[in-house]
């Protein structure tokens, strides 16, 4: 696990995007992205969009798979992840909408929709670069505490803490759905590379547990300690509870040039 501590949230987005752009260039224009919603990756996606517009990154044939979707919210709803991915990923990066996939939380048969989603990821050759945020309770995707570390795409009941955290996007918490479809932890771990971004003091405890805590279903993101190519990019506030923060800074400062992106 590589941990990069940036001075501020803006540079988290730039560094994460630069890291992703290097990985994407190595794969080629048919790169398969795993994309997350929430506030954490927005700056990263905006920077990737800029790189694409400026001709520094070729996403002309890229595919994307969203991590999750609420159950019972129609795709056109402003808080549906279909709509959020359209606004933050598909259109800004110039992706072909036919190559951008989101779980169908409005399906009549949700179990079949989950199986179909897993099959679509496999058919695309698997995810090359998976972007992640992390919840205050340590969830990645909507894999809430006690999620199986080998789980696949499935329906989940949202923790009340998650619903409270997401209520800011709705008029009231009563409008926040109680169920979602989410890629499982096993699905996420199949990605060839993972980039998790987190900013702000509210994420500090979760980041400490994900990076330095025990691998446990109580903090689902901790499973990333087992991933061969996981990069954690955080600002100083989100890094505040890391015991080895100085070591992570020293390690990054002494990387060979070919491994580094500028902070």
Q: Give yes or no for residue 153 having a pLDDT over 80.
A: yes
- Whether residue 212 contacts residue 181, with contact meaning beta carbons closer than 8 Å, is answered with no
- Which long-range CB contacts under 8 A does 50-58 form with residues at least 24 apart? 51/17, 51/21, 52/93, 52/94, 53/94, 56/21, 57/21, 57/24, 57/25, 58/24, 58/25, 58/28, 58/29
Look up 139 and say whether it is catalytic. Answer: yes
Predicted confidence band of residue 261 (pLDDT cuts 50, 70, 90)? confident
Catalytic entry in 47, 68, 128, 165:
68
Kindly report, residue by residue over 161-215, the tens digit of the pLDDT: 889 988 988 999 999 999 999 999 999 999 999 999 999 999 999 999 999 999 9
Predicted confidence band of residue 259 (pLDDT cuts 50, 70, 90)? confident
Mean residue pLDDT of the chain comes to 95
Catalytic entry in 144, 165, 190, 235:
144
What pLDDT, on a 0 to 100 scale, did the predictor assign at position 260?
78
Mean pLDDT value of segment 84-113: 96
Catalytic entry in 104, 139, 166, 190:
139
Q: Give yes or no for residue 262 having a pLDDT over 80.
A: no
Give the C-alpha separation, 44 to 36, whole Å: 11
Look up 68 and say whether it is catalytic. Answer: yes
Look up 179 and say whether it is catalytic. Answer: no
Catalytic entry in 101, 137, 143, 165:
137
Instruction: Walk me through the domains of the chain, giving residue ranges and CATH numbers.
Output: 2-256 (3.40.50.1360)
Kindly report, residue by residue over 19-41, the tens digit of the pLDDT: 999 999 999 999 999 999 988 89
Look up 82 and say whether it is catalytic. Answer: no
Radius of gyration of the chain (CA): 17
């Amino acid at each position: 696990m590589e941990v990069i501590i940036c001075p501020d949230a803006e540079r988290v987005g730039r560094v994460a995007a630069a890291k992703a752009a290097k990985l994407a260039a190595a794969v080629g224009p048919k790169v398969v992205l795993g994309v997350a919603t929430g506030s954490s990756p927005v700056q990263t996606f905006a920077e990737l969009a800029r790189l694409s517009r400026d001709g520094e990154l070729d996403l002309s044939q890229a595919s994307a798979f969203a991590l999750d979707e609420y159950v019972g919210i129609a795709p056109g709803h402003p808080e549906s992840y279909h709509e959020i991915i359209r606004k933050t990923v598909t259109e800004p990066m110039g992706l072909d909408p036919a190559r951008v996939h989101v779980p169908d939380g409005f399906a009549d048969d949700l179990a079949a929709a989950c199986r179909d989603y897993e099959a679509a990821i496999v058919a695309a050759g698997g995810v090359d670069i998976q972007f992640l945020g992390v919840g205050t309770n340590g969830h990645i995707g909507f894999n809430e505490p006690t999620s199986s570390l080998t789980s696949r795409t499935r329906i989940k009941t949202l923790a009340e803490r998650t619903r409270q955290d997401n209520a800011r996007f709705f008029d009231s918490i009563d409008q926040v759905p109680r169920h979602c479809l989410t890629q499982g932890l096993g699905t996420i771990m199949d990605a060839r590379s993972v980039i998790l971004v987190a900013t702000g003091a509210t994420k500090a405890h979760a980041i400490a547990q994900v990076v330095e805590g025990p691998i446990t279903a109580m903090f689902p993101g901790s499973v990333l300690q087992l991933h061969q190519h996981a990069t954690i990019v955080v600002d100083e506030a989100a890094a505040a509870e890391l015991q080895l923060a100085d070591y992570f800074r020293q390690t990054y400062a002494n990387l060979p040039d070919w491994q580094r992106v500028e902070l």
